[in-house]
């Protein structure tokens, strides 16, 4: 899962997993949001 964050007038996709890097979203990427996470179920 990644969060959308605006930092200094730029938009980034920031992963929840710190092992992955953030990605800057640029105009030439064709960026779309396909869904929104509303709940996470963890198995015990």
pTM over 0.75: no
pLDDT at residue 44 is higher than 90: no
pLDDT at residue 40 is higher than 90: no
Integer Cα distance of 1 and 3 in angstroms: 7
pLDDT at residue 42 is higher than 90: no
Full DSSP string of 2-30:
EEEEEETTEEEEEESSTTS--EEE-GGG-
Q: List the one residue out of 44, 9, 42 whose CA is nearest residue 26.
A: 9
If one counts the domains in the chain, the total is 1
Q: What is the mean pLDDT of residues 24-40?
A: 90
Q: What angle do CA 24, 30, 36 make, to 5 degrees?
A: 75
pLDDT at residue 31 is higher than 90: no
Residues 16/1, Cβ–Cβ less than 8 Å: yes
Range of the domain at 23: 1-44
Residue 37, classed as helix, strand or coil, is coil
pLDDT of residue 21: 96
pLDDT of residue 3: 92
């Amino acid at each position: 899962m990644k969060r959308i964050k605006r930092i200094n007038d730029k938009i980034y996709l920031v992963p929840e997993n710190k092992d992955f890097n953030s990605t800057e979203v640029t105009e030439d990427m064709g960026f779309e949001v396909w869904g929104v996470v509303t709940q996470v179920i963890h198995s015990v």
